[in-house]
Chains A and B, each alone.
Chain A
Amino acid sequence: MISLARKDVAHSLGKFIVTAMGVGMLLGIVLIMIGVYRGMIIDAQVLLDDVGADLWIVQQETLGPFAEASRLHEDLRESVQSMEGVAAAEALTFQNLQLPAKPLPVRVVAVGYDPLGAISPLNPDRLIAGRPLRRQHYEMVLSDKTGYRVGDVIPLQRHRYTVVGVTHGTVSTGGDPLVFVSLKDAQELQFAYSNERIRQDRARGIQAHDTHLVNAIVAKIRPGFDRASVADQIAQSLHKNVYTDTRERTILTKNLIKMASKQIGMFTVILVIVSTIIIALIIYTMTLEKLKIIAIMKLIGLPNRVIMRMIMEETLWLGLLAFAFALLFAHGIYDKFPKRVVLQNPDALRLFVVVFVASVLASLTGIHKVIKAKPAEALGG
């Protein structure tokens, strides 16, 4: 039996390919959107992975530095360190910074930590140039996405910082590049006031200003101790909120990424619906163009199933070709995006199923037209 769909597609191959490319680009954007979401989840956990802490101690009644403002006194670190079951404790700060033009200002998240401490948020495996921080002042390690190189000097507030190391793949929970500075520098950057502000405070009778604050204390647990029990003990003794690493990840995914995932999910659903409508319209138009031919086919006795199969096959081919173009398009551009885009095979497979179902649904518009076509329309001029 002659494959009418194959013959029809071959007859207008150029038009068919261009149409599939158009739909494919749309589907490619769907893949990219899903990839952005995947990237967001990975980005959100980079810092947690690199810190590798078992417990996060944060300001009471807050969810911690990734969800809301958290301030603790730095000396809390010693208290945590002295708790039973705690192997090591370190203080960390997190703040948004705007690095000077290179050539445009770069938004980064600065992580402050003790370069000589037991827990470091700087994963040495991510260093692609230079070295980690070794001094307590005026050194900086930053992400390659900032555009800076080892040896560059960056003026920030009252001081100038020398870039001693460059990392790759270090991003904040929001996907911004990370900058590592010593805890002391970070405290000054975050908590120290300008001279003008200090003068104004003094004029108002405010005499003291404490910069010995941090945003979180992280701790590692000794082997054999239960994280949850140690967390409860710290929370009760020090009156702070203590989250296990698992809970901290949940806070990130549930509280922070959930909204973004809904946003991206909405876009994805809308794009899939738009793609389906476009495929349906294309098939409908293609069927309309062939209406006279379809009427002739019906008049000369071709069964509906043969004609419907032609429409169905053409729609599926359009869907499959569009999907292939979507893969090419998405893989061709995903690394050009400023934030991480992760393309995963299971997502592509899911999209393939969606495209398949959408194509079948879209073909119904053409099939409806086939069923409605009257063979008598073949007669006449």
Chain B
Amino acid sequence: MKETAIHVENLVKEFGSGESLVRVIEGATFSVYKGELVALVAPSGAGKTTLLLMIGCVLEPNSGTIRLGEETVYDNGWTIRDTRRIRRSKIGFIFQQPHLIPFLNILENVTLIPLTDGVPAKTAERKAMELLEYFEISDKARSEPAQLSGGQQQRAAIARALANNPQIILADEPTAALDQKRSVDVVKLLKKIAQEQNVAVIMVTHDEAMLPLVDRILTIRDKKVVEKPLSSEGAIV
């Protein structure tokens, strides 16, 4: 029995008003389960990032429902006052660029959110070191981000996203700045994380070469989220 990590129902998002009103998402309904890596693919401007931001409690929808795990965070309005608390406790973000905080070393980058959330320093550091070892960059724990290669930085950014044991990882084109080999490595890593940490990963990507590596593909068609089936070889049908 799959455990639902994200459930979105009849989600609507509009921008502007009056004649300039644009409806980007209209009645999006879908679920993402723990332990799976889902790719979100669609042409530019289709609303991928908008959808990601709504799930991430960054952008307020106009209507609909968002449930993260057991908690309904949006039901035609935020049901929680502190959306950042939800982001800290339930969601990990990965960006196109690693976007590590340049004035903190790698260990501090990874422990920042747990420490903010009140996790004792020793516990946070131990967990961070485990993650850095997992991503094979524990020797860089005391280094500044600028001293790491692009691939190492991206792995550190993924470690940061996992530091607070999130249920969900939202990755906005995490391979856009990487070459093919590193892109494959990162996507494989995300899949491994999804399975081993029992986390739901939604990855926005334009890179079709990555699609055979994911469990499911969601796309936005006519402002609605639909699932694209994968062929037996992993290619999109």
Contact = CB atoms under 8 A, between A and B. Distances in A.
A and B: real partners? yes
Interface of A: 1-2, 4, 7-8, 10-12, 292-293, 296-303, 306, 375-376, 378-381
Contacts, number: 76
B96 A302 contact: no
A78 B121 CA distance: 89
9 contacts: A2-B108, A293-B102, A296-B101, A299-B56, A300-B93, A301-B85, A303-B84, A378-B93, A380-B96
Contact of B101 (A293, A375, A379): A293
B112 A292 contact: no
B93 A2 contact: no
Given A300-B93, A300-B160, A11 B176 contact: no
Interface residues of B, number: 34
B97 to A, nearest CB: 7
Interface-central residue, B59, B99, B103, by most chain A CB under 10 Å: B103
A378 B95 CA distance: 8
Q: Main SS of the interface on chain A?
A: helix
A379 B103 contact: no
Given A293-B101, A299-B87, A301-B84, A2 B115 contact: yes
A30 B101 CA distance: 37
A297 to B, nearest CB: 7
Contacts of A301: 84-89, 91, 113, 116
Contact of B116 (A10, A299, A306, A378): A306
B15 to A, nearest CB: 12
A303 B87 contact: no
B99 A292 contact: yes
Contact of B112 (A8, A299, A302): A302
Nearest to B144: A11
A380 to B, nearest CB: 7
A305 to B, nearest CB: 10
Interface string B99-123: 1011110001001110110000000
